[in-house]
């Protein structure tokens, strides 16, 4: 009976025949034959036969995959990943490629079938020995450590390709255009994906190459996890991940300079993204910022407990305290501009495109000045009305100078002084925006306001805070406010009643899970929903002790106190960021601010 080795040699001869004699006539004279190499012979004799068979059986699929990947490469700019551009079309193989792939598949099938048949015919002892050799070969493939390291690199490249395949084709086109605007950009940075887009800019996630960026703080270093799994290259040094902010050419040069200057000036805080570098080519400007791994606000704002809200607001007001001490108004504070990681409990303030320095209001000589500057608020409105020279209603030809003020910001987050076109806007308007974020947490609703213009925005504020308070704010800034839709508007708003109405409506109509944090807020409200009630020892249960109920009650009570301080209609009486950080709501974080808050 033929042994297995002679059979394998016959298979080898059939798959990789020897060279024909000189006088032989080739079967197909029109086909160009490829020169044979050692890589074409899957039965190259190295070591003993059992180890050779096992190693070839395991690595043959990897060779075929690698061969197909090499054939699919396209000569494109290195700035755009070639494999991403192949998503829109199926790669075509020529005749030589198809013959080669078919030959490899036949080798694999024939070898496996022959091996199984011959091993089954051998004695039990020899069969066990041969199978053990094959198993050892599967665990330790031939080729040495260098080949195994190359295979690991190949697997890592496959994982990176899978991540890159998720990038939409239109985003790849945008990144390709960006490379054309910056010829040297691809040498120092590798764009990965688009992570944000606004009115004046677009932000991309990129990898800094060739040591172009060095990050000192661990906060800005690349995250150790990728797709929620540990990276295989734990010992290798990774290039830092940065954020590339492309500022549109439609922005004025003064606005671009103002943003870059403020970013440079605000360096030195872990709560504000520092400016790492600036690239400019003709009219294109790129700002290089650290990339901070964070979660989308919509993914956690409904599930964040009051302790998590406390940590979020603590980080937010620390960032505001830092920029306000430098007399900088952010003007566009909203959840998308505060990158927060609920698992680390860390936040970062970004996007200073609308930020500006707070101007001094000591020496105003312009007649078109908001009366809120006057120290005597009681006579402010009278002075302003006298200056306008009112007779009866509005004059036919109004000679009053129009009031010009900065109204920049995002709808729903602008303070009343911005809506009333106050010319004396201070850092306190950021405090109002921070209060809106806190109210969104309590009501579990985002966005809380959705007004198309300033008139509807004032109507929405009157529904929350009451018409009387809005009219007082209008008088402070020399304006009048009258609303004829007063059926659903109360004179004095109640913030607790607003929160209770939102949560109870959702609980009765949409349903709330039993483990939802909404029940923590509903448990401290009274029956009417216009106040909070202290828990009693009789309310304690196995799920919540009396101490936990009291802790929950105090946290909500202090949170409402914080919100009332943020929503004062008079900017001068509104609390500052430093004053808010000293409130009882943050007392447990003063000496222990590094605790992790996990959802």
Q: Cα–Cα–Cα angle for 222, 225, 228, nearest 5°?
A: 145
**Architecture of the CATH domain 297-357+381-388+405-589:** Orthogonal Bundle (1.10)
Domain locations in the chain? Answer: 43-158, 169-221+238-290, 297-357+381-388+405-589
Are 526 and 532 in contact, with CB atoms under 8 Å apart? yes
Beta-bridge partner residues of 285: 247, 280
Please state whether the peptide bond connecting residue 447 to the residue before it is cis, i.e. omega within 30 degrees of 0. Answer: yes
**67 contacts 37 by C-beta, under 8 angstroms:** no
CA-closest candidate to residue 133, choices 119, 143, 114, 144: 119
Asked if 517 contacts 306 with a C-beta cutoff of 8 angstroms, the reply is yes
Q: Of 154, 334, 171, 350, which is closest to residue 243 (Cα–Cα)? A: 350
| Residue 247 Rama label (left phi>0; alpha psi -120 to 50; beta) | beta
CATH of the domain spanning 169-221+238-290: 3.30.200.20
Alpha-carbon span 548 to 550, nearest angstrom: 5
Own/partner pairs, 579-583, CB within 8 angstroms, 24+ separation: 580/317, 580/431, 581/314, 581/317, 581/318, 581/321, 583/558
Closest to 242 measured CA to CA, from 271, 263, 213: 213
Distance CA 58, CA 134 (A): 10
Q: How does pLDDT run across 222-257, given as a tens digit for each residue? A: 444 444 444 444 434 678 899 999 998 877 888 899
Closest CA to 61 of 96, 105, 98, 114: 105
Model confidence pLDDT, tens digit, residues 15-72: 655 555 545 454 444 444 455 444 444 444 444 444 444 444 444 455 455 445 544 4
Instruction: Provide the 3-class DSSP secondary structure of residue 545.
Output: coil
Residue ranges of the chain with pLDDT lower than 50? 22, 24, 26-33, 36-60, 63, 66-67, 70-93, 130, 133-152, 154, 222-236, 360-365, 383-384, 387-392, 595-599
- 546 vs 554: CA distance, rounded Å: 12
d(CA 221, CA 320): 23
DSSP secondary structure letter of residue 412: T
What is the C-alpha to C-alpha distance for residues 113 and 215, in angstroms, rounded to an integer?
56
Residue 442 sits at φ, ψ, to 5 deg, of: -70, -40
Look up residue 437 and give its two tokens.
């974020």
- For residue 72, how many other CB atoms are within 10 A of its CB? 13
Query: What local confidence, expressed as pLDDT, does residue 536 receive?
Result: 92
pLDDT at 200: 85
DSSP state of 487: S
Decide if 169-221+238-290 and 297-357+381-388+405-589 have a common fold.
no
CB 503 within 8 A of CB 511: no
Nearest to 587 by CA among 540, 547, 554: 554
SS3 341: strand
As a whole number of angstroms, the distance between CA 109 and CA 121 comes to 19
Note the pLDDT of residue 233. Answer: 44
50 CB-side CA count, 13 A: 14
3-state helix vs strand vs coil in the chain, percent to 5: 45, 10, 45
Distance CA 117, CA 4 (A): 9
349 bridge partner residues: 272, 338
- Sole residue written with tokens 């050692």: 38
CA dist 572 and 351 (Å) reads 26
The CA–CA distances, whole Å, from 39 to 44, 51, 95, 470 equal: 8, 17, 19, 81
As a whole number of angstroms, the distance between CA 245 and CA 201 comes to: 7
Distances (CA, A) of 456 to 22, 155, 499, 558, 580: 93, 56, 21, 31, 30
Write down the pTM of the prediction: 0.68
Residues designated catalytic: 332
Residue 581, phi then psi, degrees to nearest 5: -65, -15
């Amino acid at each position: 009976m033929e042994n297995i080795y002679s059979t394998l040699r016959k298979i080898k001869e059939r798959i990789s025949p020897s060279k024909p004699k000189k006088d032989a006539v080739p079967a197909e004279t029109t086909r160009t034959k490829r020169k044979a190499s050692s890589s074409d012979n899957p039965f190259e004799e190295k070591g003993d036969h059992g180890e050779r068979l096992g190693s070839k059986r395991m690595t043959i699929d990897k060779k075929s995959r690698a061969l197909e990947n090499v054939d699919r490469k396209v000569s494109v700019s290195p700035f755009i990943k070639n494999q991403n551009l192949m998503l829109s079309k199926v790669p075509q193989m020529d005749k030589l490629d198809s013959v080669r792939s078919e030959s490899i598949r036949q080798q694999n099938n024939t070898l496996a079938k022959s091996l199984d048949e011959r091993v089954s015919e051998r004695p039990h002892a020899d069969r066990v020995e041969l199978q053990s050799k094959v198993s050892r070969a599967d665990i330790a493939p031939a080729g040495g450590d260098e080949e195994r390291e190359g295979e690991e690199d190949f697997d890592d490249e496959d994982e990176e390709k899978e991540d890159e395949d998720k990038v939409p084709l239109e985003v790849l086109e945008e990144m390709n255009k960006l490379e054309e605007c910056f010829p040297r950009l691809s040498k120092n940075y590798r764009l990965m994906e688009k992570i944000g887009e606004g009115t004046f800019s677009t932000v991309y996630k990129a990898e800094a190459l060739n040591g172009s960026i060095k990050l000192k703080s661990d906060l800005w270093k690349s995250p150790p996890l990728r797709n929620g799994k540990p990276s295989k290259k734990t010992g290798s040094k990774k290039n830092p991940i940065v954020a590339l902010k492309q500022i549109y050419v439609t922005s004025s040069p003064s606005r671009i300079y103002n943003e870059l200057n403020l970013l440079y000036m605000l360096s030195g805080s872990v709560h504000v993204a520092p400016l790492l570098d600036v690239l400019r080519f003709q009219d294109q400007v790129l700002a290089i910022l650290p990339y901070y791994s964070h979660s989308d606000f919509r993914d956690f704002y409904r599930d964040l407990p009051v302790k998590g809200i406390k940590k979020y607001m603590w980080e937010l007001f620390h960032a505001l305290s830092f920029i306000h001490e430098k007399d900088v108004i952010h003007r566009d504070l909203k959840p998308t501009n505060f990158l927060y990681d609920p698992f680390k409990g860390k936040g970062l303030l970004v996007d200073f495109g609308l930020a500006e320095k707070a101007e001094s209001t000591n020496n105003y000589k312009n007649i078109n000045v908001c009366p809120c500057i006057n120290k005597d608020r009681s006579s402010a409105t009278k002075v302003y009305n006298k200056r306008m020279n009112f007779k009866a209603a509005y004059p036919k030809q109004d000679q009053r100078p129009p009031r010009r003020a900065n109204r920049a910001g995002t709808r729903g987050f602008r303070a009343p002084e911005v809506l009333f076109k106050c010319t004396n806007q201070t850092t306190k308007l950021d405090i109002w925006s921070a209060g809106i974020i806190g109210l969104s947490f309590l009501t579990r609703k985002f966005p809380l306001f959705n007004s198309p213009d300033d008139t509807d925005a004032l109507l929405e504020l009157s529904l929350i805070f009451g018409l009387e308070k809005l009219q007082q704010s209008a008088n402070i800034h020399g304006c009048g406010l009258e609303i004829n839709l007063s059926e659903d508007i109360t004179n004095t708003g109640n913030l607790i009643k607003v929160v209770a109405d939102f949560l109870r409506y959702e609980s009765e109509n949409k349903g709330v899970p039993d483990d939802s944090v909404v029940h923590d807020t509903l448990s401290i409200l009274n029956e009417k929903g216009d106040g909070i009630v202290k828990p009693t020892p009789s309310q304690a249960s196995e799920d919540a002790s009396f101490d936990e109920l009291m802790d929950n009650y105090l946290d909500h009570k202090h949170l409402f106190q914080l919100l009332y301080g943020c929503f004062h209609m008079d900017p001068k009486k509104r609390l500052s960021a430093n004053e808010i950080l000293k409130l009882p709501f943050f007392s447990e974080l003063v000496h222990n601010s590094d605790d992790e808050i996990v959802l």
